[in-house]
């Protein structure tokens, strides 16, 4: 997607095999690319959310494994564990790391080349999944447009499940970009998404660069908009979806799903298979929920005349708790938009698209 009319991806290797990412901590105020040179730098980038979003974390971890092969580590398993420990909820990370370990153990060719090739494959698969999610999700938007008298389609999204969270296109945003390209009038309600404000800082930035009409809202506004019929469709991303269709996504997603259910508004999850954990059934019991530093709740980051700054928003000694994700039960979800089509959020329907996991 575009930044100031130049095409970027969320992560890329340059012609000298150097790995680059966009430092998402500085957006939307400063655009800076960052070279990731070592395994530890890859771990740091994931932990500190220089890169973020389930698919991008997965691809970064894959390249992190490649960087590890260039270092004198006793075993790639140590690298794999370091990466897995960096963020626990998004399953893409663990899946890509395990996939690379498996590939390495089954081969005796040069490890670096092999791991790099697999990382490139994972990146291309991510790209492809996001593109196809756009094509399938577009049909939902077209249906609404064709039944609402060709009026603007109002879509609400939470957090950032855009191209910055993937490699390109995004997941939740992919159908939106495609609909916009096709000339369907779209307006996006963007949840600010406290505490890290991925909606306010990143989704607005992306949509602005692509000239898609959007409005930033405080996290608590969605329910009111839904009651007043100002939302036609909700599309969010996922960090881990169980084989029965429960979805862990950025904290606050569950509350939007409850409000959508109460107001009969379609609530869809853009779910690439990379984010589906076919080994678990019960999201509430089995998905580890990341707890992050309480200071992310107690402080807010923004731009002042002195530059990018963090300010305290409560008495300094206040206790705070910072759960990164929540679980939306399958019963509140209208459907999952996957790269193989749209299915219901239940085991039978998911497995009808992914029979290899039956």
The answer to whether residue 219 forms part of the interface with ligand MRU (CB under 6 A) is no
52 binds ligand MRU (CB under 6 A): yes
Would you count residue 25 as binding ligand MRU (CB under 6 A)? no
Residues numbered 80 to 99 that lie near ligand MRU (CB under 6 A) are 90
**In angstroms, rounded to a whole number, what is the distance separating the alpha carbons of residues 159 and 203?**
7
For ligand MRU, the closer of residues 136 and 250 by Cβ is 250
Least distance (Å) from ligand MRU to the CB of residue 61?
A: 13
Contact 35, 19 (CB under 8 A): yes
Active site residue 239: yes
Residue 166 binding ligand MRU, by CB under 6 A: yes
CB of 105 to ligand MRU, least distance (A): 29
Of 1, 76, 122, 161, which lies in the binding site for ligand MRU, with binding defined by CB under 6 A? 161
Exposure string for 284-309, b = 16+ CB within 10 A, e = fewer = eeebebbebeeebbbbbbeeeeeeee
Query: Which residues are CB-contacts of 79 (< 8 A; sequence separation ≥ 6)?
Result: 39, 64, 65, 68, 73
* Beta carbon of residue 275, minimum distance to ligand MRU (angstroms, whole number): 7
Cα dihedral 253, 303, 168, 233 sign:
positive
Give the number of other CB atoms < 10 A from CB of residue 75: 10
Total of chain residues touching ligand MRU, rule CB under 6 A: 18
109 DSSP assignment: S
In the complex with ligand MRU, which residue's Cβ is closer, 114 or 165?
165
Write the DSSP assignment of 293-348 as a string of letters: -THHHHEEEEEETTEEEEEE-S-TT-----B-EEEE-GGG-SEEEETTEEE-SSHH
Strands 247-250, 240-242: parallel, antiparallel or unpaired by DSSP?
A: antiparallel
Per CB under 6 A, which of residues 226..285 are in contact with ligand MRU? 237-239, 249-250
113 Cβ contact partners less than 8 Å away, ≥ 6 residues apart: none
Among 10, 55, 199, 252, binds ligand MRU (CB under 6 A): 55
Q: Least distance (Å) from ligand MRU to the CB of residue 31?
A: 18
Q: Does 198 bind ligand MRU (CB under 6 A)?
A: yes
Instruction: Identify which range of 37-45, 159-167, 178-186, 218-226 contacts ligand MRU by CB under 6 A.
Output: 159-167
Positions that interact with ligand MRU (CB under 6 A): 52-55, 90, 159, 161, 165-166, 170-171, 198, 237-239, 249-250, 324
Residues annotated as catalytic are: 239
């Amino acid at each position: 997607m575009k930044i100031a009319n130049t095409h970027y991806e969320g992560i890329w290797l340059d012609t000298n095999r150097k790995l680059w990412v966009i430092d998402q901590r500085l957006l939307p105020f400063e655009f800076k690319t960052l070279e990731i040179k070592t395994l530890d730098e890859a771990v740091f980038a994931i932990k500190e959310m220089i890169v973020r979003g389930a698919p991008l974390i997965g691809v970064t971890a894959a390249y992190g494994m490649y960087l590890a092969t260039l270092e004198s580590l006793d075993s790639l398993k140590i690298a794999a564990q370091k990466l897995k420990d960096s963020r626990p909820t998004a399953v893409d990370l663990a899946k890509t790391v395990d996939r690379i370990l498996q590939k390495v153990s089954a081969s005796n060719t040069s490890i670096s080349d092999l791991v790099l090739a697999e990382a490139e494959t994972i990146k291309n698969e991510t790209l492809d999944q996001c593109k196809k999610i756009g094509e399938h999700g577009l049909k939902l938007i077209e249906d609404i447009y064709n039944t609402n008298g060709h009026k603007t389609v109002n879509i609400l999204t939470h957090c950032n499940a855009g191209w910055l969270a993937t490699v390109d296109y995004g997941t939740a945003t992919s159908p939106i970009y495609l609909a916009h390209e096709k000339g369907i009038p779209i307006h996006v309600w963007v949840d600010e998404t406290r505490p890290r404000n991925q909606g306010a800082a990143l989704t607005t930035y992306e949509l602005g660069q692509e000239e898609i009409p959007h409005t930033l809202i405080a996290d608590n506004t969605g329910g009111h908009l839904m009651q007043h019929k100002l939302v036609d469709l909700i599309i969010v991303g996922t960090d881990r979806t169980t084989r029965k269709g429960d979805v862990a996504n950025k904290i606050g997603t569950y509350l939007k799903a409850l409000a959508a259910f109460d107001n009969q508004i379609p609530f869809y999850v853009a779910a690439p298979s990379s984010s589906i954990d076919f080994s678990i059934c019960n999201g509430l019991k089995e998905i580890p929920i990341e707890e992050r530093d309480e200071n992310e709740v107690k402080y807010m980051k923004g731009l002042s005349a002195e530059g990018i700054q963090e300010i305290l928003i409560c008495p300094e000694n206040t206790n705070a708790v910072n759960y990164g994700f929540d679980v939306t039960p399958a019963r509140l979800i209208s459907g999952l938009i996957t790269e193989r089509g749209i299915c219901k959020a239940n085991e039978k329907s998911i497995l009808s698209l992914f029979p290899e996991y039956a």
